[in-house]
Amino acid sequence: MEQLMRNTFLFLSKNKSLTKLAKKYGLRFGAGRFVAGETIDQAVKAIQDLNSKNLCVTIDYLGEFIDTEAEANEMADNSIEAIRAIGSQKLDSQLSLKMTSMGLDISDEIVMANMRRILDAAKENGVFVTIDMEDYTRCEKTIQVFKKLREDYDNVGTVIQSYLYRTVSDMEDLNQYKPNLRLVKGAYKESPEVAYPEKKDVDDNFKKIIKMHLLNGNYTAVATHDDAMIEYTKQIVKEHNIPNDQFEFQMLYGIREERQLELVKEGYKMRVYVPYGTDWYGYFMRRLSERPANVAFVLKGIIKK
């Protein structure tokens, strides 16, 4: 039943008609728990609140189904607006973005031009940028874009997903760039031809790449809500005398807030992934797919209205 629910929400996340409908009617039906607002001003308030609790942030202007150069350029403009807000308000925040929202599916020239102007603005404002990883069909292209950008910029990182078979090979290849990587399990529905279908295998690979990246001496962002993975990271760090400034934990906005604060109290850097924007529907559906408790929360909120 849980897998059926997950597959259903992942299917709904790709529905363009529902995405347009969600844009029209705004943040309703519980989405406000996972999305900080529709405007940069609302997002800034959320960041300030999190920073006041000693939580770091990475902000993401949400965008799905970018089909034209004008749309990609507009998405890049919004990312630059967020970067400037971070700089002017002196916020403890980074920026995250998806390559598809920058024009990955349109042309190499468009995505590279948008990424360079974003990274130039980020460099001016002292902001680090993480390129999110999307589904398997875009994995190789995303990594190639990251490699090209890494040659000219030191304020850019990317994401590696433990559920893909290719992950360890990718990590070995990327090590020459001394990359800052966010390590995740992976949130897309993939074929067993390219991804581990069993949770245990995904978890085992996650542990493997956490240890691998830390021991390579690279900055490691362990993005998980799984206590077993958090404790594993703590164990590796302790065993190998890895300094606290070489890694951080990351969690999603609106999920496990008490645990986030506990990690801060324990002396660890804790970064919260804060999405905002009108194009929140796909992101929201993926969050609902991850845990039945998220669905229960939303239903409870609707009943109360």
Q: What is the pLDDT of residue 39?
A: 93
Tokens read off for 157: 């990182």
Whether 222 and 233 have beta carbons less than 8 Å apart is answered as: yes
Tokens read off for 39: 């405007």
Residues 137, 131, 93, CA angle at the centre, nearest 5°? 150
All structural domains of the chain with their residue ranges = 1-26+280-305, 36-278
Residues of the chain falling short of pLDDT 70: 1-32, 64-65, 280-305
Q: What is the pLDDT of residue 16?
A: 52
Could you say which of 60, 132, 170, 203 is catalytic?
Answer: 132
**CA separation for the pair 14, 31 (Å, rounded):** 17
Q: What is the pLDDT of residue 285?
A: 64
In the chain, alpha helices (H)? 2-12, 16-25, 40-52, 69-89, 108-125, 139-150, 167-174, 199-215, 227-239, 257-265, 281-290, 292-304
Q: What is the pLDDT of residue 108?
A: 95
Whether 55 and 271 have beta carbons less than 8 Å apart is answered as: yes
Q: What is the pLDDT of residue 153?
A: 98
Could you say which of 150, 182, 271, 286 is catalytic?
Answer: 182
Q: Which fold has domain 36-278?
A: TIM Barrel (3.20.20)
279 flagged as catalytic: no
- Give the pTM: 0.86
Exposed/middle/buried for 243, CB within 10 Å: 0-12, 13-18, 19+?
exposed
41 flagged as catalytic: no
